[in-house]
Amino acid sequence: MMLLIASATFAQVKEINSLADIPDNGRPFVVKAYATWCGPCHRYTPIFNEAAERLDGKVDFYMVDVDNPKARSFIRQYQIKTVPQTIVFSNKKTHASLTGMVDLETLLDFIRQNTSKTKR
């Protein structure tokens, strides 16, 4: 029972295909573009998930599979050519982008720097 209660409090990283899949709650959000065949993407996932845990309630986290045909428009619109790619959005507009796998502290610093500029 304790495990179920604890797991309900964990931040969730949700899969999306477009920005229309993201609720407009006024918070900045981060999208990780990845591919299932990408080794660095697999190694980056726990880092991305940990960042979601640490910033839960302040920033929302999503991921998009670049090989999903439903996500082609998103991939084209944001010119995603290399994975993993992390994009910070504010008001559903691109604010900053980071290509490649980074460590947790680098990711958290990148997100904090680029979301502190977007606060209303």
Active site residues: 38, 41
CA angle 5, 30, 84 (to 5 degrees): 105
- Return the amino acid letter for 47: I
- Return the amino acid letter for 92: K
For residue 46, cis peptide bond before it (omega within 30 degrees of 0): no
Short-list 90, 56, 87, CA closest to 71 = 87
Helices (H) then strands (E): counts for the chain? 4, 5
